[in-house]
Every structure is written in C-alpha cells, then in structure tokens.
Amino acid sequence: MRHFAHGNTPPPSDRNDLKTLKTLLPYLWRFKLRVLLALACLIAAKVAGVTTPLYLKDIVDQLSLPATMAVVPLLALAGYGLARLLSGVLGELRDAIFARVVQGAVRTVAREVFSHLFRLSLRFHLERQTGGMSRDIERGTKGIGFLLNFTVFNILPTLVEIGLVIGILLHRYNAWFAVVTFATIAIYIVFTLVITEWRTVFRRSMNDLDSKANSKAIDALINYETVKYFGNEGYETRRYDGNLASWEQSAIKNQVSLSFLNAGQGAIIATGVTLIMWLAARGVNQGEMTVGDVVLVATFITQLWAPLHFLGFVYREIRHSLADMERMFTLLNVGAEVADRPTAQPLASRDVAIRFDGVGFGYDAKRTILHDVSFDIPAGHTVAVVGASGAGKSTLSRLLFRFYDVGSGAIRFNGTDVRELSQDSLRAHIGIVPQDTVLFNDSIYYNIAYGRPDATREEVIDAARSAHIHDFVMGLPDGYDTTVGERGLKLSGGEKQRVAIARTILKNPPVLIFDEATSALDSRTEKAIQAELLSIAANRTTLIIAHRLSTIAEADCILVMDGGRIIERGTHRELLAHGGRYAEMWRLQQEGEALDA
C-alpha cells in the first residue's frame, strides 16, 4: 500500500476541470507542430483501421461464391494487408511524435512549480507539512502524462472510430444498426459518468486519509529521537493505525463501487452486442445481408467495444489525474507574499550601510514583534544585538533577508528601501551563520561549495582552511567526499558551524549576520570559532545576534532589546558604565562562567 502526503494544500472545494485543462494548454501549445502532426497520424490510422473490415467483407464474400466462380481476391487481400499495416505504423508514429510533447510539458510544469515554491514566503514554508508538496508535484506531473497519453492514444482515437463506424453503418445498412450502436455507446458513457462521479467521493476520502496517515508517519519518523526519549512508540503506532483504519473503510467502499461500475458496463455492452448480432442474423435470413456483411458488423463491434470498455477505466483515471493536476496547479496560484516590484533595482555596491528606520513588524496582525526599531550599521562596522528570548532579535535577520516585509518604517541599504531592490541581488550581498546550521545530506565539499556553486576546488579548500576545518576534513577516511548525513547529523555542532563559516567565506558577501552562531557550543569550541567569526567580519558590515555577551565586547555598537524595543545602545564600556540592563546581564553571565569554572 502506498501512502501520499499532500502538504498544506487542501483539495479544492470546487473542482474545475476545464480551468485545469486551460492551465495546461499553453504548456502543450509550445509543441503545436508536433501536436498537429500527431493528430493527423491519429486520424489517418483510424481511417485505415476502419477500412480493414471493409476489405475483410469483400474477401469473405468472394470466397463464399460457388467453387466454379471463385477466384483468389488478390486486390481485397492487398488492400486488407495495407490497411492493417498503415493502422499499426501510423499509430506508432503518432506515439513517437507525441512523446516529446508529453515529456516536455511534464518537465516544464514540474520546473515551474519547483521554482515557484522558492519564490513563496518563509511563512508558507514554515506552515507546510514536510514531504507533502513534493508528493503534490510528483502526482500532478504523473497526472499530466496520464491525461495526455490516454486522451491522445485512447479517447480521441475511440471517438474518431465511433464516428466513422456509425457513418458506415448508416450508409450501408439498416438505420437500426447505427441507432443500436449509438444508443449503446450513449448509455454506456452516461452510466460511466454518473457512477464515476458518485465514486469520486470515496476516492477523494481515501486519498485524504491516505495523506493524513502518511503525514503523521513522516512526522513521527523525523522526530524519531523525541519518540524514543518519551517511550511513545506504541502511542505513535496506535495513532498511525487509527488513520489507517479510516483509510481501510474508504478503500473498501472505493473497491465495491468500482465492482458495481464494471458490472454495469459489462451488462450494457453485452445487451448492445446481442441486439446488433440479432439484427445481422435477421438480415442474412431475409436475404438483405451477406455473410461478409455479418463479418463486417461483428468486426466493427469488436473494434469498438474493446477500447470503449477500456474508456471507462481511462475516464476514471483521467478524473483522478485532473484532481492531482489541480492540486499541483494550486501551488502555482499561491501568491508570493514578498515579491519584487516591477521597478526593483539591483544592489551593486560592495560597501553597504544599513539603516533600520522606525521598523514595526508582526508575524500576524494580533501580535506585534518589533516596535519602532531604529539603528544604523555603517559600512564596515559591527553592531551586536542582545536581549532575552522573544525580544525580536532573530526577526531582524529575517527582515534583512526580506523573508518578510516590514509592517511600518523601512530598512534601507545605502539609503534605498530594500523593497525597491531585487531580492536576488539583496540576498547575494548577505551571508549568514545561523544558530542551527542545517546541512544537505551530501558531501562536506558539496556543503561548502553551496556558498558559491561555480567556485573552483581550490577556492572551496581555501575557504575550508580559513574556517580551520581543512585539517579535520583531511583526517576523515573519505576527506571532502565524506557524507554529513541528513541535516548534517554525522558532524558535531562545532564541525557543522565551521562548515557554515567556510560556506559563508566562500560566498564572500559584504554583509554578514551571525544569528547566535555559537550559542549551542561549549565555551572552548565557542572561543575557537569566535576568533574565526571576528576574522571574517573584518571590514564587512556585520550584525551579530548574541547570547553570550563576551563574544560581542569588541562590537562598534551594542543594542539591548526587550519586548521588541531597543532599550539601551552603546559600546561595551559605555553600557557597563551606564549600569542598566546590559550591565546586569554581564554580571549574571560572568558569575555563571565563574561557577562553571
């Protein structure tokens, strides 16, 4: 049993298949010449396929003559063989021509959705469920392939064939042949549509419960250590099984309804075939039809019913594919909370002065995080921010990267509001060493080179040397090819931080942010890394968000925040002399370090 997670994009409450198809159309029309060629091959193949029974009728009729009159029907045999050959060859040619259309559309859509996800806000990604969106993209792109292949390779050919057969029956025989054939097809299609719509409820319910079970399972596995810490393996298993139980009931209803649909389709086809064969048999008895005519009608029926029976399955799957595609396309419809203005300019200077100008901000309207925050970081200077948890310190770095836009006031780079700058150029000027360094599950080399993917190997190794991690890496059995594990869990905290520093050194940005970069480390490791941080901060515009005050004593200016406001500012010495909140924090930390010693 496969499970799918859908992230935080719920299934649309109002299905609009036509809108989904219109969204897909531009991706196909890029290959319009191939589409038209494939359609031409499709029609030609079906014309050849429909003429095959006509030649077969002539062969049977000629061979049914008395032995004295019989001659080998060479012309009819040649026509029969050529028609069968063209039907097969043109069908394969259609498939070959259309393959580029299908795969090209799938690739383009998947790339655009993936790229769009990176344009969405941090808020969107913080609220999503891990693994869900990737499944949306996977199922949506598979749905595109299924829809296009079966529309062009099954539905359209069947409709063309139905039209041709009914036309031939009307032209050559009693109108009742065409009437019975058309009525059987119409009843079959209506029955399929009605029952499939009824079944869609069960299918959707099954998929949603399937997704919920998978999301819970992924969440529990990602938090494996927490589950083990609290001995909650049984609790997680019961919770997972509870979701599976609901899924099981929906899956049973889905299968029972499918069996009802298949049985009904079989009954309709059996009734139609019986009526047509009765009409043919009566025609022969009355001398109105030959044995060749019976063969012709029987062959037409066989050719029609086989794809028509398959058409029911295809329609059901196309509906599911449209639902999956709609879900994926809803991701494209999610607007970017932070978007470049049409007049956005690139930030080009290597000397960057930063100003927070009366900045107010809240992650939601009910709670304000920053209140009228104003300060300057002159080009090449270092400003540190300290304060209790929840004071708004880390929010400053997120606003600098423009993961969010300020609610009031402005952040300015060299006097220009960041909202007037392109996000790409803004972020290219900023490097960050975060508190919790998350690495890709790849090699150490890849993780360092991520700072500048086009860097040479020598530049990557030089960055590692500057971060004092080169000797450690060379001491590993696989050196720079050592895999760090998911989220870098195979490395210690200090080693991960050095990789993060090397990555930032390689990026070589004019603006640096150290967001409590050493707070998770022990004192000895912190002192070693702190020297490296100060070294790379030299002559760069630097914002340090600090926990331990000893790491920022040399900063040009220190800001003390509380409740989203700056309550003190000055140098280390000035703040100590002032005897306020900073002096109290310094005293408490010094006493704590003395006790630890």
Q: What is the pLDDT of residues 503-560, one digit of tens each?
A: 988 998 999 998 877 665 666 666 767 777 788 888 889 999 887 788 888 889 999 9
Residue 430, amino acid:
I
pLDDT in tens, 310-334: 666 777 778 778 888 887 887 777 7
pLDDT at 126: 66
pLDDT at 12: 43
Q: Taking a C-beta distance cutoff of 8 angstroms, is the pair 62, 291 a contact? A: no
The architecture that CATH gives domain 17-333 is Up-down Bundle (1.20)
The stretch 131-139 carries a mean pLDDT of: 72
Question: What are all long-range contacts of 283-287, with beta carbons under 8 Å and residues at least 24 apart?
Answer: 283/173, 283/174
171 pLDDT exceeds 60?
Answer: yes
pLDDT in tens, 427-457: 889 998 887 788 888 899 999 999 899 999 9
Q: How far is Cα 355 from Cα 383, in angstroms, rounded to an integer?
A: 11
Residue 60's H or E segment, with its range, is: helix 32-63
Q: pLDDT-derived band of residue 11, with 50, 70 and 90 as boundaries?
A: very low
pLDDT in tens, 293-312: 888 887 877 777 777 766 66
Q: pLDDT-derived band of residue 118, with 50, 70 and 90 as boundaries?
A: confident
Tell me which range, 9-18, 65-74, 231-240, 536-545, is most confidently predicted by mean pLDDT: 536-545
Residue 165's H or E segment, with its range, is: helix 156-172
Q: Where do you find CATH 1.20.1560.10 in the chain?
A: 17-333
pLDDT in tens, 570-589: 999 999 998 889 999 898 88
Question: What are all long-range contacts of 459-468, with beta carbons under 8 Å and residues at least 24 apart?
Answer: 459/506, 460/502, 460/506, 463/502, 463/503, 463/505, 463/506, 464/502, 466/501, 466/502, 466/505, 466/532, 466/535, 466/536, 467/498, 467/499, 467/501, 467/502, 467/505, 467/532, 468/498, 468/528, 468/532
Which of 91-95, 106-110, 120-124, 288-292 is the least confident region?
120-124
Q: Taking a C-beta distance cutoff of 8 angstroms, is the pair 153, 145 a contact? A: no
The b/e string for 367-381 (b: 16+ C-beta within 10 A; e otherwise) is ebbbbebebebebbb
268 pLDDT exceeds 70?
Answer: yes
Which of 85-89, 105-109, 314-318, 411-415 is the least confident region?
314-318
pLDDT at 455: 92
Fold of 436-508: Rossmann fold (3.40.50)
Which of 10-19, 159-168, 195-204 is the least confident region?
10-19
Q: Where do you find CATH 3.40.50.300 in the chain?
A: 436-508
* Residue scoring higher pLDDT (129 or 418): 418
383 pLDDT exceeds 90?
Answer: yes
